[in-house]
Structure 1
């Protein structure tokens, strides 16, 4: 009887140990989901579009609470998209911030977003951005790469109060001028600008709502002649401008697509070298400016 009692006690201890382990795993997983959903997320840099600020093979932490704390846009683990809203707002992105955002073109055709990009904020809502022979001008002042601020020298800005200029030919070296939309800005919608404004409207609704029926332009099945933007927008570029695909190619970033601010490089490996030689020790725990 005494031996039987010992066996029963050991069995009870074993069951209790498994229960405690399950509890630890559950709370650890829950904490990880909360941190990833609301506060911080890790990303790997796959390309050189942000050199020399970020190199291919850098692993970074993104502060998702840098600007606001929002409800998740996707159900954790499942990845199913859900409606999201800001719980509390702290600040807005500043010119020169390095941000991570959802690639805006992934929603075209109602596709699920799978790609996140990292770029530098060049233009803020209401700014006028123009690129002339690779020189970036914001509100007529040169955007200085090294100091991340605007020069004192100013050029004349002429946009006729339109978001897009009448220039038909833009490329990576010459672009604009464009006015970056802000929340509450009302613009005319017509057949001259619908090809440029249409994608911006679709991004705000996060689905295709712009349609054309004969001589009528519809937004969400309603005929319109004007549109009022519901969000602030931002103009972003890669530091390595010659190879970067950015706002010059696919337009402005609405605020709802911004995930957070890139803060620190926690690990870095050169993808072209062997594992032992690839570790860039000088980049570990480097802040991102």
Structure 2
């Protein structure tokens, strides 16, 4: 948002607030002009309803501010004698028109706050729920967000059925851009196709200072750049232009950072000509074709012996199977199976084009196993532009950075001006799954802009295997996502601390009794 636009918006909402409240200010013994001064008018309003001044920070927080504003409307009506909940309801559903009517009525008088009446009208249970919702929304929006792994794209690092905590502050908190939304509901209201937000009001992109930069091989949660489903996975419902912060959340490994030259050779990633070395907990997986002597693999045996989900392998002939998610280690073990004749990588050949591989049209003869090389755009850096390389950067120019693009023959125009180069306005990243032949990632939809980055997964607090019933993976409870060496579960330490706390609390209460 430009400085001019910010000033105009501030003056507009200051004027709107004054129109709504200035009569009430006067009746409460304040000056009329105080209702029209941006930010100061909110502090005065909080004094009138006898709430602390620091509530102003809650009001300006997107999403949380919606809840606080309803509380303020209720308490404003309360101090003027309109103490039934129905008056608050009428004010909200009439978009403050009823509130204006109350403020402008000649017989409306300021009578002050009565906490006993508030307690009678608003039960302790309601207050507790409101506090819990505000607190949980604060944590969810600005500190840690829960996330469930839905697909095996990062198997075995992150397993299907794992519950994560995603840090918002590592890469800088992305302030919500869609402020009018139900708290802690991302897209649609559960059990319905009704969106949980309205995009009629959109705030500019703003990110708080980061504690660290995204490093190569970090696992990152981000908003899927090309998500425009009305209802995810249901094409019949049509498509919409979703706000960035309401797009579906994906989790992948960042294998390319701004400034890198990236290439994929036989499924392996090369950065600046050198093979990318993954962390020791990462387990890349590939598609293999297994030829047997005959007979069938037992799905339960395969899952237990090799930890293979039967959904990701199938029989293509009487004695042939295709496994889409094998690590090189498991492939070597499977080769020694007495019923196996041979096992081979099922990689696409170099120069064979796949139609759904980025960029759209894919005139480069790239596929998911052989891709690139490409440049990962860095903020402030300039690239030469022509019709051959334009498909790589078209979405960046038009959708992510909001320019008008025209192509006439070999001539490229950006915002009406002939362009032979382009300077990037933000950083971009390349996200891929470790499960190389079973992952929808940047090879399909391209670069991930930094403004789409949500956070960093840091902790697995629960993990369940759902292949054969629902079985807890106890060794993965309370483990860190990052780190080196064998994964260590801190569940027993948590249970010990919990038992000590309950024991301490029990004896403390017994001593008081």
Q: CA RMSD in A?
A: 2.9
Kindly state the Cα deviation for residue 208 of structure 1 after the two structures are TM-superposed: 7.5
Aligned to 2:386: 190
Q: TM-score, normalised by structure 2?
A: 0.46
Q: Could you say which residue in structure 1 is the equivalent of 2:364? A: 168
Q: Are 2:228 and 2:247, in contact at CA under 8 Å, matched by a contact in 1?
A: no
Q: Structure 1 pair 103/48, CA: closer, same or farther in 2 (3 Å)?
A: same
Aligned residue among 263, 266, 271 for 1:133: 266
The alignment's TM-score, normalised by the length of structure 1, stands at 0.79
CA contact (8 A) 2:167 2:457 kept: yes
Partner of 2:97: none
The answer for the alignment partner of 1:8 in structure 2 is none
Give the secondary structure class of the aligned counterpart of 2:208: strand
* Pairwise CA distance, 1:273: 3.4
Give, in angstroms, the shift of residue 49 of structure 1. Answer: 0.8
2-structure distance, mates of 1:139, 1:215 = 30
Counterparts in 2 of 1:226 and 1:60: CA distance versus 1, 3 Å = same
Question: More displaced, 85-94 or 97-106?
Answer: 85-94
The CA distance in 1 between the partners of 2:405 and 2:118, in whole Å, is 62
CA contact under 8 A between 2:167 and 2:456: conserved in structure 1?
yes
Please point out which of 93, 98, 105 is paired with 2:226.
Answer: 105
CA distance in 2, matches of 1:249, 1:15: 56
Q: Once the 2 structures are TM-superposed, how far is the Cα of residue 222 of structure 1 from its aligned partner?
A: 5.0
Deviations 1:159-198 (A, max 9, x none): xxxxx9x982111111111121100111233222222210
Rounded Cα–Cα distance in structure 2 between residues aligned with 1:14 and 1:189? 65
Q: 1:14, 1:256 → 2: CA distance? A: 43
* Kept in 1: contact 2:217–2:279 (CA 8 A): no
For the residues of structure 2 that align with 1:121 and 1:249, how far apart are their CA atoms?
15
Equivalent residues, number: 260
Q: Does 1:92 align with 2:213?
A: yes
1:192-241, Cα deviation, whole Å (9 max, x unpaired):
22222101223423x68434456653445555332210111111110111
Determine if contact 1:70/1:88 at 8 Å carries over to the other structure: no
Tell me by how many angstroms 1:25 deviates. Answer: 1.8
Is 1:73 aligned to residue 174 of structure 2?
A: no
User: Which of the residues 156, 163, 173 maps onto 1:59?
Assistant: 163
Match of 2:75 in 1: none
SS of the aligned residue for 1:42 comes to strand
Q: 1:114-125 to 2 correspondence within 5 Å?
A: 114-125=247-258
Give the secondary structure class of the aligned counterpart of 2:465.
coil
The equivalent of 1:42 in structure 2 is 146
Distance between the aligned counterparts of 1:131 and 1:249, measured in 2? Answer: 13
Contact between 1:204 and 1:231, CA under 8 Å: does it hold in 2?
no
Q: Counterpart in 1 of 2:480?
A: 287
Aligned-pair distance for 1:83? 2.1
**CA offsets, 1:39-70, max 9 Å, x none?**
11111111111100111111111101111123
Q: By how many angstroms is 1:261 displaced? A: 0.4
Tell me the distance in 1 between the aligned counterparts of 2:474 and 2:163.
Answer: 12
Say if 1:30 and 1:14 are closer, same or farther in 2 by CA, change over 3 A. Answer: closer
CA distance in 2, matches of 1:209, 1:115: 26
Per-residue CA shift, 1:112-162, capped at 9, x if unaligned? Answer: 15311100111111111111122221122211234389xxxxxxxxxxxxx
Once structures 1 and 2 are overlaid, which stretch shifts more, 71-80 or 244-253? 71-80
Check conservation: 2:170, 2:210, Cα contact below 8 A: no
Residue 6 of structure 1 is matched in structure 2 by: none
Name the SS of the counterpart of 2:123 in structure 1.
Answer: helix
Residues 188 and 32 of structure 1: is their aligned pair in 2 closer, same or farther, counting only changes over 3 Å? same
The CA distance in 1 between the partners of 2:465 and 2:123, in whole Å, is 43
Which stretches of structure 1, 4 residues or more, deviate above 6 A after TM superposition? Answer: none
Partner of 1:278: 471
- Mapped to 2, the partners of 1:110 and 1:227 lie a distance apart of 28
Question: SS of the counterpart of 2:455?
Answer: strand
Q: Which structure has the highest strand share of the two?
A: 1
Please report how far the alpha carbon of residue 102 of structure 1 lies from its aligned counterpart in structure 2 after TM superposition. 0.7
Q: Match for 1:26 among 122, 130, 149? A: 130
